[in-house]
Structure formats: structure tokens, C-alpha cells
Amino acid sequence: MSTHDLDLNTGHGFWIATALLSGIAGALLALGCEAREVAANEPRLEVVAIEHQVTDLEQQLAAADRGAKREIEQARANSKKMPVASREKLADAIDRTEDARDQASDRLDELKHSGAAHFEARRARVVDALNELAEARHDVVAALAGGQPSLSDG
């Protein structure tokens, strides 16, 4: 049988079906590859978001640390003029602030070295430590002013 003997009219359905199936298979492969690319980009987006949050927390801690140092220096300079009982309260507030600074710094270091699985819990610990530092700084200012810190002094 030679190629001249083939009846071209009888095979059209087969070739149309083959072309159609090839087109569908190609489209599905393209969609699958695109979905894989999107999925591959999701972890990178998560890493960028985490890095941004860590940077924000670093900036907050740096600002709080600078403020605490300034307040502690001012409190120590002015404490010599204070009565003994007030000086003791001020010293306690300064100690609490220095401890809170150390804790916040430690929590931030833990956060930087944690994986994505523990990020939210460790980020919450950093935020709690920053809040504790803010309260301790408030106590220094209140002790320096001779007042008692209270929750309403916010």
C-alpha cells in the first residue's frame, strides 16, 4: 500500500481529535507550570513580610533603647538632689528599665533566629517585652518626678 492509496477523507476525525487533545494537554501543562511558579513565590513573599516585621521591631527597640538610656542618665544625674526614699524608688525603676531593655533585646534576637513556624509566638514575646520596657520607662519618669506611677498615667 502506498501513500497514494490512502483515503484522506476517512482520517479527518482522527487528526482533528489528535490536534484538539494536543492543544488541551499543552494548555493544562502551561496552567500547571504557572501554578507551580505562583506556589514557589509564596514562601518568598512570606519571608519578605517576616523580614519587614523584624525590621520594624528592630527600629522600635532602637528608639525605645535610646529613650531609656537618655531617661536613665537624666534620672541618675538628678537623683543626687532627691530624698533617700525617692532615690531608692528611682533606683528600683532604673533597674527594672535596664532589665526590660535586656529582655527586649534578647527576645528580638530569639525572633531573628526563629523559623517561620515559631515566628508569630516569638514576635508576640518581642511586643510584650517592648510594652514592659515602655512601662518601666514610665516608672523612671514618675519616680524622677516624685510621683507614683499609675495605669492612668499612660
Domains of the chain are 47-153 (1.20.120)
Crossing angle of helices 12-79 and 84-112, rounded to 10°: 160
Residue 47 pLDDT class (50, 70, 90 cuts) = confident
- One-letter identity of residue 137: R
Report percent pLDDT > 70 for the chain.
72
Task: State the pLDDT confidence band at 150, using cuts at 50, 70 and 90.
Answer: very low
Between 150 and 71, name the one with better pLDDT.
Answer: 71
Dig out the grid coordinates for 73 from the structure.
542618665
Distance of CA 148 to the CA centre of its chain: 35
The pLDDT tens digits for 97-126 are 999 999 999 999 999 888 778 889 999 999
Q: Give the count of beta carbons closer than 10 Å to the beta carbon of residue 125.
A: 19
- Residue written as grid cell 526563629: 114
Backbone dihedral angles phi then psi of residue 150, each to the nearest 5 degrees: -140, 165
pTM listed for this prediction: 0.65
CA distance 131 to 127: 6
Q: Which amino acid is at 3?
A: T
